[in-house]
Amino acid sequence: MTRTDRRRGVTRRHLLALSGAGALAGLAGCSGLLSGQPEQTVDADALAEMVAGDALTVPETLPVDIEASFVAEQRSIAESDLDRIPAPFDSETIPNGVIRGRLNNMYDSATDSVARIDEAETPYERLQRANRARVSAHEARAGWRAIDDDLTLAALRESVPSIEGRIASVVQRWSHVGDDPVRAIVVHEAIESEIRAARNWLSSRNRRERSDGTALDVADLAEDLERARTSVTVAAYVFDRFRAGLDTTTEQRPRFEAAREELRTRLRDRQDALPPRDVDEPTSLVDRDIEETTGVRALASLGTEASYRAEQLTESDDDPFLANEVVGAADALVYARAFESLRERLENGDDVAVESVDDVSALRSDAISAVEDARSTDRGPLLVNELLPRFANEIRWTDERFARESGTTSLDSVAYDAVDYVVAAATCRAVPRVSADVAGVLRDS
């Protein structure tokens, strides 16, 4: 007898993550039983204490002068939507508890984003928060209008052509101009990402065609459309600001294409040294006898990422989003270099094993040092600023997992979570050198 919940949004990536976690948890639970030994535990309160205090964050930046007035404009659009809905909603205004709960969550998310705009460290992050507020506020207002004002999916769909027109207009006048090619690649990568995002939000047809037309369906579609609007607005603004600030507007596309080819060649040269995308025996990656330690698991994770990304880039057709591919190649090289350096460390005798909270703390400190070193480097700083946040912020996610622990917890599970500290340390150490290399390729192409 079986019962299933079909159509849940579980992606292949989720399934892989879940099965991996399940397998590891199963092994962790069995190891003590098989050996007749009780499962080893560590002091979870000490782990939580270790990560207490201000979280390490590396803010996202963009080498374009984003005006405070532009951020204020997006904020004002969000506030205008929020002012026009009678939230928080109670059971008299919205009797259906599910719809009421969801609309109140959207409202809370929008007000929270508005309140946190000024806390962000950089203009680019303030802009992102203002746009998040815009999207949540618009979503909440559309949901309320579906209830109060009969706003329908069909009415919302009428706005699609005008958004498509705005995207087409940006794409038509946008080109890969720039003076310094490194600054240009970073800026155009952001513009390409916004254009790609705007198109994706407009084309999320499955969700729109499957919806029933409830207030939440209307809110969902309004959210997609507002995301598309904010993305195209940012793409247009960033391009205009960037171009207006250039002394010379040299077309960089031929240079970017040459750089992409050179970076693909460098990735191909490294591919033989990388493991297959699915690593069955992580210890086989190290040329000595070693247990499956935290460091060995981190090595497998780095190798898998490097292989996957290298394969994607070396086998892809030429993507029109050229800057995305060049920056993607830099990401792949970071993973490849991190894989090589960690393997060397393990083969030289360091087990990178976790036996205690002190071991975890040492791995975390090493990761933080790697981030600080990368931030203070003068090697390819524009690319360091571009690449570093996504690698460094892995530390914060792991901190948040440990912060939720209390009492005692399984050593095996802690050793598994600490993998991300090792990955963060290795990748953040690789970022400056890869940034310098990629900057050199761009300038020499």
Partner 1 sequence: MEPNVVSETPTETASSDDDQSDRDRIDDWAHYLVSNAEDASALTFADVDGAADARSFLDATDFSSQTIYVERHLVDECFRQRLCWVRWTENNIETDYARILRDADVACEANAQVAVTYLIRLPVTLEPGQINSYSSGSGGGPCPRPDDATPEGNAS
For residue 409, the cross-strand partners are 42
Report the largest interatomic distance among the alpha carbons of the chain, rounded to a whole angstrom. 73
- Sequence-distant contacts of 117-122: CB under 8 A, at least 24 apart: 117/71, 117/75, 120/59, 121/57, 121/59, 122/59, 122/60, 122/61
Question: Least distance to partner 1 from the beta carbon of 155, Å?
Answer: 17
Question: Least distance to partner 1 from the beta carbon of 89, Å?
Answer: 10
Residue 83 near partner 1 by CB under 8 A = no
Residue 156 near partner 1 by CB under 8 A = no
Residue 91 near partner 1 by CB under 8 A = yes
Residue 5 near partner 1 by CB under 8 A = yes
Question: Least distance to partner 1 from the beta carbon of 5, Å?
Answer: 6
Question: Least distance to partner 1 from the beta carbon of 93, Å?
Answer: 9
For 39, 106, 135, 405, the CA distances from 102, given in Å and listed in that order, are 42, 6, 14, 29
Q: What is the CA radius of gyration of the chain?
A: 24
Residue 7 near partner 1 by CB under 8 A = yes
- Helix (H/G/I), strand (E/B), else coil: 365: helix
Report the alpha-carbon distance of residue 43 to residue 256 in Å, rounded. Answer: 51
Residue 165 near partner 1 by CB under 8 A = no
Nearest CA among 28, 43, 41, 40 for reference residue 405: 43
Residue 210 near partner 1 by CB under 8 A = yes
Report the alpha-carbon distance of residue 21 to residue 39 in Å, rounded. Answer: 18
- Interacting residue with partner 1 among 42, 87, 94, 415 (CB under 8 A): 94
Residue 11 near partner 1 by CB under 8 A = no
Report the alpha-carbon distance of residue 441 to residue 323 in Å, rounded. Answer: 13
DSSP structure class, residue 227? H
* Unique residue bearing structure tokens 């460094």: 392
Q: Check the CA dihedral 427-429-431-436 and report its sign.
A: negative
Amino acid at 263: L
- Interacting residue with partner 1 among 83, 119, 150, 212 (CB under 8 A): 212
- Interacting residue with partner 1 among 8, 12, 13, 288 (CB under 8 A): 8
- Interacting residue with partner 1 among 110, 127, 147, 298 (CB under 8 A): 147
Residue 288 near partner 1 by CB under 8 A = no
Residue 215 near partner 1 by CB under 8 A = yes
Question: Least distance to partner 1 from the beta carbon of 86, Å?
Answer: 13
- Interacting residue with partner 1 among 4, 11, 162, 248 (CB under 8 A): 4
Question: Least distance to partner 1 from the beta carbon of 136, Å?
Answer: 19
Task: Give the binding-site size for partner 1 (rule: CB under 8 A).
Answer: 25
- Interacting residue with partner 1 among 42, 78, 146, 428 (CB under 8 A): 146
Stretch that binds partner 1, among 2-10, 73-81, 228-236, 356-364 (CB under 8 A): 2-10
- Helix (H/G/I), strand (E/B), else coil: 208: helix
Report the interface residues with partner 1, using CB under 8 A: 1-8, 91, 94-101, 146-147, 210-212, 214-216
